[in-house]
Structure 1
Amino acid sequence: IIPAEAKTFLSSILKKEAIHVQILDEVARKVYILFIFLKEERAKVENLFQSLRGEKIKLKEDLVPSVRIKEIKDRIKQIKKEREDLLEKAEKLNQEKVKLMAIYDYFYELLKERKVNSHSHLSRYTFILEGWIKEEDIPTLKNVLSDFSRVEIIVKKPTKKEEAKAPVALSNRRLFKPFELVTELYGLPRYIEIDPTPFLAPFFALFLALCLTDGGYGITLVLLSYIIPKKFQVGEGGKKLFSMLFISGLLTIVIGIITGGIFGIEIQQLPAFLNPIKKLAIINPMKEPMIFLVIALGVGVIHLLTGITLELKDNLQRGRVSSAILDQLSWIVLIIGLLLVGIPFVKGFISGGTTSSSGMGSQIPLTLSPSQLLPIWKKLPVYSRIGTVMVIAGGLVLFLFSGRRSKKIGMRLAKGAYELYGVIQLFADVLSYSRLLAMGLATSVIATVVNIIAGMAGGIPVLGPIAMIFILILGHLGNIMINTLSGFIHTARLQFVEFFGKFYEGGGKKFEPLRREGKYTIIIK
């Protein structure tokens, strides 16, 4: 063992000596090394070791190397034999795999029966069984039990205390049902919460479509999402996933036509028989990224407003009228007001010129005196004036009433100021939707690059056409898979952080009805 600081000195000396050194490990400023040298070099190595302030470690070994090596080789042979025996046993067990799966499901059913028994009560004359049932299944249950003359059924809604333990079963229309997967990934709603699935579904599909922005990719996604569940066993979750991608793919086709992209080719370059479709191309994200950014941020604002509105609705349903008006409604008024005030500036941002036809945006100085406010106010469009009033009204309500539960006036005002500071967080939330622009541009750029490389490869003699087809297929399929995965992740992030953060908590318990539902087996009567 030598000190770590002696390592460099040792390396410089060994360049001139016929001594081999193997560094074994470095721990806590200590370097563990192995010296290998000729017998006649022993004195020189001893002197070198002393100059390095090294510490020798004596290895306890009662066997000569040849015997020890033989033992190691014998152990290796033994391990190989054990491995072969294990593989042989595994092959035999694999032949019993179907039986083992059936046994697993059998004992799983027994486990569920034991759990049910824990909710039952047995006395000398009666047997009582408690449980949860979907409201729409109550008539069926009563009808089944009506055949038993000595059975009594009592159905009641859960109390406030029981609501915290009540399980949840999502029930949505066929169009929205695939998007339950997103809700389940985050966490089921509690019994008293709103199911966010039907509200997130259109936004999720739209955001994923904006991430792809290519009609050809949308067609491919639709075909793959339809074929894969038909050809392979994907399970219940897989069916939801591919149904969700199928819907998103359809919307991607629409977005792709609007943005004028088909497999990285501008729609205007396509054959003449597609002229009716060419007229639908409104914007080109590659040439007009600012317009696409405004669209992404605009959709984001609508997304956030939807979340706040759902919280308002939830408070009204629970009888919290003051919270609905003073908290959520005031934020809605403030946000809409900011939008109305910002419209002239957005127009200027897109055009790259002044913020309005009168050029009032470019004339706003950095510092304003009271005498300058009136002329600027007069130049504002009517809707921006209304927006200004809404911003002031919403801001005042938030400032004065956000801390209404505090008894001290100073604490109320402090909480109100902190709530107004949330406007900064609001802008940060809106800017998060710029990732849709980034993903859309990335997909378009990669698709274009694939086409360019394929075109260059096509010029190669003899093998050129084959190479071009190979590059086009692999390149576009890879682009679809990578950006669909990335788009899914970023879209889910916008739902979980920005959208759910406005109204949703989750943490509900899944409703699991008592029924025979094997993991590996299906019972056919």
Structure 2
Amino acid sequence: MAIDRMKRVTFLAPVKASQRLLKSLHNLGVCEVSDVLNHYPEFKEVFKRPEVVTEECDTNLQKVQTVLNLMDVFCPVVKGFIQGLAPVPLLITKEELDYALHKFDLESVYQEAQELDIEYRKLERNVSNIENQISELLPLEDLPFRVDFFRKPKRIKLLFGKVLYANYQILVKDEYINKKCAVELVYPGRYYRKDADSAEKPVYGPKDFVFVMVACLPEDFSEVQNKLKGFAFEEITLPNINGTVRDHIRELKADLSTLRVQIQEIASKVQKLSVNRRTIEVLKAFWENRKKMALARTFAIEGRWVQVLSGYVRERDLPKLQETLRSEMPEVSIFVEDPQPGEDVPVSITLPSYIKPVQLLVNMYGLPPYDFFDPSPYLMWGFYLFFGICFGDVAYGLILLFASLYLMKRTKPYEGVYNFSKLLFFASIPTIVCGFLFGSFFGDLYKPEYLGENNIFQRIMQATTILNPVDQPVYLLLFALFVGVINQFYGIGLKMYGMVKRGDKMGAIMDGLLWLILLPGFIILVSGMFVTPPAWLTTIGWILFGIGAVGLVLTQGRDQKNPVARFIMGMISLYGIVGSYGITSFIGDTMSYCRLLALGLTTSIVAMSFNMIANLLKPIPYVGFIIFIVVLIIGHLFNFLISVMGAFVHSMRLILVEFFGRFYEGGGKPFEPLGFDSETAILVRGENQK
């Protein structure tokens, strides 16, 4: 129940056997390969890096990715409920892997997919071009004339454009325009039909744009153009097409339909290919893994005859590693050492099944350094307590319990999602307990006005309720602050434990014990502002505060050589500006635990509100009871989802910020042994292979 002890191992192997060595380490899956030169920098001048070729891996990865990308376009994977919770690895059996490598014809599938992809991209470009043409032509769709006729006149010049109707009215009255040009307002084509009544022509407002056709002699063309600009006339270049714009749009839409039919045919062919998706995903996992194994050689160094490889292995796996190499590769020598102080050792943590779920919180913050300790066992009780207070309701807890059990059953092969489900399962227990203690069952649904007088739920809740947060919020607030104080002291105690573990006993006293002396005294003195404590208790408070304050003033500035600077640093460290802690930090962190009251009240009050709303609708004739049930179900489901999310997030914050801030430092590097298993794929082995 701690950070696994690690050993640094160095392998000496003949150069010709280096590939076999990596393969053996890969099959074992117990050794993380590290850079030899990090441990033996003096070898840099003597040895060289081996040449590593990943061309085969890259080629095959490019092929499978091309196929998968095409499948994602036409037949994307529909994620199930479990996959929607979090990324889950692909579970691969040995039989699937053998089939994918030895029987599946990747090359033919790739060739077909590549041809379909090229054809699809070509069609998509054509579709895009046609859609762009249509979007450009749509504003001109109602033009009543053939566009090719616009260019036929030889002895006159035609201009087409748009102008504000107010400017058009001025333009047609202009003396120069009337002398040099012929101006025609162009209505939509439907108004030029023989059966169209002139009275039906549109009425334009001053700020409406209208289309206008202008005709002039060629020698006046430039001058007319400049004159029209004075009326904010915007000339429009008509498309180079035959016939009307509407007819051309109709032709383009027909072409578009043909292209989409062709794309649909490609989609059908890709759909047939998609039956091989899982096999292709297996191949992707294999080649990614093979590339990772090849790149591991870049951490090695070699001479003419010998290659040197180093890494880390868990102490418990060392005998297995030694025995395997002894039997499979007797020509390889292995040297075992303990990591040196300050060495960046990868971290592996082994926990009992009941503690493992809370490691999720540690992973969010960051793994501990190798020479520290794993905080998982120390934070789980606090997290479960905070969650229970925030979400405390018997019915909600029971729903969470059964829902998490269902998720655990469905997600057992997927460690990450399974542990999250298990975390919710354990959190449901304090939720139920706090629900009994706080008298909450779907809020106050057990009361007589909802379920009748003297119902069984009412009797149970009345017998178990100790504190009602809605009626007695001050008591819950005091309890939350008490929990905050205890948790702060607990965190300081863990800080002392960590410093002692690292051999810094004096630091544990100066940065931990002195605060545990000062802060209780500070609490006693501050409490005198609200209550009148006994004189002897006040005296103890002054003594504790004085001893702690003097000790901190004398020690918190110990890095300063100047005595005056040391004293000043010690004084301001009491406030919390510098140093490991501070009175203001203690007050602020403790007040953060008030969120326990806020979340607990919110869960209960929102539940009670839905009960009241449902009860108000119950008297409606005929359908009242049905509406009552529907409102209760929808309302409590909403409150359940919102409250469980809030309880998780805020409980996590109290751990990661207020609690971890007292003692914990992340930054550890996870132990990643060379092997097939990764976050994206896991090779399912038989019991005798584990």
TM-score class, shorter-chain normalisation, is: 0.7 to 0.9
2:312 counterpart residue number = 132
Whether the 8 Å CA contact 2:439–2:461 is kept in 1: the answer is no
Q: What code does the residue aligned with 2:311 have? A: G
The correspondence of residues 474-485 of structure 1 with structure 2, limited to 5 A, is: 474-485=634-645
1:413 counterpart residue number = 567
- Residue 603 of structure 2 is aligned to residue 443 of structure 1: yes
1:36 shift after superposition: 4.2
- Of 217-226 and 295-304, deviating more is 295-304
The alpha-carbon distance between structure 1 residues 123 and 274, as it changes in their structure 2 partners (threshold 3 A), is farther
Whether the 8 Å CA contact 1:102–1:521 is kept in 2: the answer is no
CA distance in 1, matches of 2:297, 2:493: 44
Aligned partner (choices 528, 545, 568) of residue 391 of structure 1: 545
- Residue 237 of structure 2 is aligned to residue 109 of structure 1: no
The alpha-carbon distance between structure 1 residues 404 and 441, as it changes in their structure 2 partners (threshold 3 A), is same
Aligned partner (choices 505, 510, 514) of residue 326 of structure 1: 510
User: After superposition, what is the alpha-carbon deviation per residue over 1:312-367, rounded to whole angstroms, capped at 9, x for unaligned?
Assistant: 2222222223322122211121222223345566xx6xxxxxx2xxxx4xxxxxxx
CA distance in 1, matches of 2:550, 2:461: 50
CA distance in 2, matches of 1:229, 1:262: 25
CA distance in 1, matches of 2:265, 2:547: 80
- Of 515-524 and 100-109, deviating more is 515-524
Q: What code does the residue aligned with 2:169 have? A: E
The alpha-carbon distance between structure 1 residues 173 and 414, as it changes in their structure 2 partners (threshold 3 A), is same
Whether the 8 Å CA contact 1:212–1:439 is kept in 2: the answer is yes
CA distance in 1, matches of 2:173, 2:504: 85
User: After superposition, what is the alpha-carbon deviation per residue over 1:360-401, rounded to whole angstroms, capped at 9, x for unaligned?
Assistant: 4xxxxxxxxxxxxxxxxxx63433321221112212222232
Whether the 8 Å CA contact 2:394–2:434 is kept in 1: the answer is yes
User: After superposition, what is the alpha-carbon deviation per residue over 1:410-458, rounded to whole angstroms, capped at 9, x for unaligned?
Assistant: 3223322321112123211111111111111000001111212222233
Q: Percent identity?
A: 31
The correspondence of residues 161-310 of structure 1 with structure 2, limited to 5 A, is: 161=342, 163-164=343-344, 166-231=345-410, 235-265=414-444, 271=455, 275=459, 278-310=462-494
- Of 470-479 and 483-492, deviating more is 470-479
Q: What code does the residue aligned with 2:339 have? A: P
Structure 2 portions without partners, runs of 5+: 1-161, 175-205, 210-229, 449-453, 577-582
Aligned partner (choices 511, 523, 547) of residue 339 of structure 1: 523
- Of 262-271 and 105-114, deviating more is 262-271
Structure 1 portions without partners, runs of 5+: 1-33, 349-354, 361-378
- Residue 317 of structure 2 is aligned to residue 141 of structure 1: no
The alpha-carbon distance between structure 1 residues 39 and 57, as it changes in their structure 2 partners (threshold 3 A), is closer
CA distance in 2, matches of 1:419, 1:318: 24
The alpha-carbon distance between structure 1 residues 44 and 314, as it changes in their structure 2 partners (threshold 3 A), is farther
1:223 shift after superposition: 0.8
Whether the 8 Å CA contact 1:225–1:246 is kept in 2: the answer is yes
The alpha-carbon distance between structure 1 residues 261 and 416, as it changes in their structure 2 partners (threshold 3 A), is same
1:23 counterpart residue number = none
1:153 counterpart residue number = 334
CA distance in 2, matches of 1:152, 1:137: 17
SS at match of 1:167: coil
Aligned partner (choices 423, 428, 432) of residue 588 of structure 2: 428
1:305 shift after superposition: 1.7
Q: What code does the residue aligned with 2:647 have? A: G
Whether the 8 Å CA contact 1:257–1:267 is kept in 2: the answer is no
User: After superposition, what is the alpha-carbon deviation per residue over 1:50-75, rounded to whole angstroms, capped at 9, x for unaligned?
Assistant: xxxx9958566242795497387578
Q: What code does the residue aligned with 1:483 have? A: S
Whether the 8 Å CA contact 2:389–2:431 is kept in 1: the answer is yes
The alpha-carbon distance between structure 1 residues 92 and 129, as it changes in their structure 2 partners (threshold 3 A), is same
Q: Which has the higher contact order (CA 8 A, sep 6+)?
A: 2
Whether the 8 Å CA contact 1:119–1:131 is kept in 2: the answer is no
1:129 shift after superposition: 3.4
1:229 shift after superposition: 2.9
Whether the 8 Å CA contact 1:209–1:248 is kept in 2: the answer is yes
- Of 207-216 and 407-416, deviating more is 407-416
- Residue 640 of structure 2 is aligned to residue 486 of structure 1: no
CA distance in 2, matches of 1:450, 1:471: 7
CA distance in 1, matches of 2:460, 2:388: 22
The alpha-carbon distance between structure 1 residues 276 and 233, as it changes in their structure 2 partners (threshold 3 A), is closer
The alpha-carbon distance between structure 1 residues 342 and 97, as it changes in their structure 2 partners (threshold 3 A), is same
CA distance in 1, matches of 2:650, 2:421: 18
CA distance in 1, matches of 2:231, 2:167: 20
1:459 shift after superposition: 2.2
1:145 shift after superposition: 3.7
The alpha-carbon distance between structure 1 residues 201 and 478, as it changes in their structure 2 partners (threshold 3 A), is same
The correspondence of residues 438-477 of structure 1 with structure 2, limited to 5 A, is: 438-477=598-637
Structure number, greater radius of gyration = 2
CA distance in 1, matches of 2:541, 2:399: 44
1:268 shift after superposition: 7.8
